[in-house]
Structure 1
Amino acid sequence: MILNGLAVGTCSFMAAGLFEDLTRASHTHVPGYSFIAEAIWTNPAWLCIGVLSLYANDHQPIHLIIPGSILTRNILGLGLGFFSGGITQRVQRYNPDAIFTTASLKLVCLIPLVLCSLLILAIRDEDVPGTPTDRDGSIILFSRGAAIVSLAGYIAYWFFWNITHQDLFRTEAENTVPSHSSSPTTTLNRPIKPLIFTFSLFSLLLCSVILIHTLTELPSSMPTNTTFLLTIPLPLLIHHHELVVIAKASYLNKRSSALLVAEGGTLHTALVVVPFLVLLSWVVSGRPPLTLQTPLLPLVAAGLAAWVSGVVLQDGRSNYLKGVVLLVLYFSAAIAAFLLPAS
């Protein structure tokens, strides 16, 4: 699992960077290109894992995508960024409007997951009339409706980010709009890039297939806590390149770019990837329907993490003490997930 997770993260990182370089070099302006590209290429690994999990009828990895992304990117990533930035400067300043806007939206994205869990608790009570099929139908209906609303929210977010309030997200120090990908610009020759891009996509798909097969075999081969594996180690392996980018950018005093990498990726995951998978399970017949049901502990941990990260980002300043606080929160959540029963 460790090698597969690292391979998936590496191939995803390469594919996103090469795709961005190819589109930048082509100088083409396709209508809706940015809308589609930002939705896909911020999370190609999770998109592959989610689609393959649907095919394997294993929904648990999908249910834990958002909690794992928040804990890894927004708590561990920001913690490493604040700590590494605090090594070079006592206090670092960043664009508070852009960062706090995305942090607030991230907290709002968790509301459908919370409402789905509360709805499950309410309608599955023995005193509630109706058959189990009717109750499950209500949960499925809510999940699909929330997925449609989330995708509509992403459209509004994209227009706000790229059209109506583009200047809000320009950093004063860097004077540029950070790209949707955290990948660096490559220096390969143009004829070689399409070949490597195709190879990276094929490798990403192959490694994702092997990873899903490994995850489905884990419960039968060893008594392990799959919730812990899918919430802590797996996102850490997939996003390890982003963590390095965040820490390095913070160390070089590029705080706003580092924070947008952490916040933007999670926001795309919550608004696009998971809702798309819910609707995809609706379209594809013959498969169990996917809902927004999320295990209680990861959901609570993700909610607290999103709230704490928003509070930490509110004043527009960072220091190493804030980084230590976020790292303590991450490891506390990791220990709690590790101590969950294997069942």
Structure 2
Amino acid sequence: MPPSERSPLLDGDAQSDSVLHRIKVLVAAEGEPSWTDSYRFFLFGSYLNVFLLFVPLSVISHTLNWDAALRFSFSFIAIIPLAKLLGEATEQMSAKLGQTLAGLLNASFGNAVEIIVGIAALLQGEMRIVQTSMLGSILSNLLLVLGCSFLAAGFKFQESNFQVTAAQASSSLMTLACITLIIPAAYHTTILPKDAQDRLSSFLAGESEIDSGLLVISRGTALLLLGVYIAYLYFQLKSHSYLFEAPEGEADEPRMSVVAAGVALLLTTVVTSFCADYLVASIEETADRYHIPKPFIGLILLPIVANAAEHVTSVWMAMKGQMELTIGICVGSSIQIATFVIPLLVIVGWIAGPGHELTLFFANFETITLFTSVFLVHTLIQDGKSNYMEGLMLVTLYLVIALAFWVV
């Protein structure tokens, strides 16, 4: 039809059809599962989702102010399936969006539970819970999850191999992050005057202001670590991505559309934030009433819940012989905690103001525990091979640390 004979009405209809088509492609691209199929898989694809029943129980127990042990237990159990759903939604989005964007998504949401629990505890002034839960997340990934993965692979294969250069680069960055935690501890022990040390101890107990020098060191280091983390993402996803590529395998067919997975990710994050807030609010009363050491709760119990998704995925990948993915999940998640989540929490505390300041000073016992754990992992992955004995060593060290923090 010549331009002079076109009808504006027809042009409007054509534009409307074009817009509707674009929306349709965005919501459910051709070949992608429908929204119904996506959410059927998301909600009923795992027996673990039965524990989602504890989400309303967590809300009800908190609203009606039930016994602290019930509030803690319901919120604790509710976060387990939520962590699995967060991992599932991220994985489904990653399947369609490519390696670079998938890496950014995993960086943002892979440790969503740790970030949510950490911010909730920070805003409630629970500095020790923040520090021990972050440290516990690192130790859980490096020792428990990686150890169980090596054990599972060792029972199926006599020896497993992985890309040694990538593993060494990751473990070296983890060592750098560990060293940055030693420097504030050294400053506190050797440079800080005795009266300032007393003020710092009082601050950690929530009683007074913190030393300004330690705040400067912590905030400056946090900004530098965030810069290093961004550089590591570029190194891993762009400039040296070939080092981190796993061998070609059968690609799993996506079970959710990209938009459905994104909406599910957002909603699950919101629900998790409420359960995490209820969990943190019940910790102190539960610890006092039932004589459970708060460091043990923060270091052992909370990270096991938060790392539920990584634990299941890592062991499953190891049993399939995909050790590059296993190393990436365990060591990569620890790097995210040490160089992204902890610095982020320091900055959030900085913005939140007095009473919420978080530093990178960890107690000497905790710093030594982290250093020995990173040293053992760095030693075991140097040769690019793993077996069940190495897994047993990692799990044993984790159990020793858990026992020590129960006593502490």
Determine if the TM-score, normalized by the shorter chain, exceeds 0.5.
yes
Picking from 15, 18, 32, the partner of 2:89 is: 18
| Deviation per residue, 1:142-189 (Å, 9 max, x gap) | 10011011011111111111111111111345599xxxxxxx976246
Higher gyration radius (CA): 2
Aligned to 2:153: 85
The ranges of structure 1 where at least 4 consecutive aligned residues each deviate by more than 6 angstroms after the TM superposition are: 131-135
Picking from 137, 154, 162, the partner of 1:94 is: 162
Mapped partners of 1:325, 1:62: distance in 2: 27
- For normalisation by structure 2, the TM-score amounts to 0.73
Q: Label 1:35 to 1:217 Cα distance change in 2 as closer, same or farther (>3 A).
A: same
Aligned to 1:70: 138
| Deviation per residue, 1:186-233 (Å, 9 max, x gap) | 624677545543432232111111111112323443332111111112
Q: Label 1:220 to 1:253 Cα distance change in 2 as closer, same or farther (>3 A).
A: same
Mapped partners of 1:24, 1:257: distance in 2: 14
Mapped partners of 1:221, 1:128: distance in 2: 32
- For normalisation by structure 1, the TM-score amounts to 0.86
Aligned to 2:216: 141
Answer with 284-293 or 270-279: which moved more: 284-293
Does residue 344 of structure 2 align to residue 269 of structure 1? no
Aligned to 1:332: 400
Preserved CA contact (<8 Å) 1:79 1:325: yes
Matches within 5 A, 1:93-172: 93-126=161-194, 136-172=211-247
Q: Label 1:174 to 1:308 Cα distance change in 2 as closer, same or farther (>3 A).
A: farther
Structure 1 SS opposite 2:126: coil
Shift of 1:108: 1.1
CA root-mean-square deviation: 2.9
Mapped partners of 2:308, 2:174: distance in 1: 21
Larger RCO, structures 1/2 (Cα 8 Å, 6+ apart): 1
Among the aligned pairs, what percent are the same residue? 20
Matches within 5 A, 1:272-287: 272-287=340-355
Preserved CA contact (<8 Å) 1:102 1:264: yes
Aligned to 1:179: none
Does residue 295 of structure 2 align to residue 227 of structure 1? yes
Aligned to 1:241: 309
Shift of 1:305: 0.8
* Counterpart code for 1:144: R
Mapped partners of 2:196, 2:349: distance in 1: 27
Q: Which runs of 5+ in 2 are unaligned?
A: 1-71, 201-207
Q: Which runs of 5+ in 1 are unaligned?
A: 177-183
Structure 2 SS opposite 1:64: helix
Preserved CA contact (<8 Å) 1:249 1:255: yes
Preserved CA contact (<8 Å) 2:103 2:237: no
**Larger proportion of helix:** 2
Q: Label 1:247 to 1:38 Cα distance change in 2 as closer, same or farther (>3 A).
A: closer
Shift of 1:19: 4.0
Answer with 32-41 or 57-66: which moved more: 32-41
Q: Label 1:175 to 1:264 Cα distance change in 2 as closer, same or farther (>3 A).
A: farther
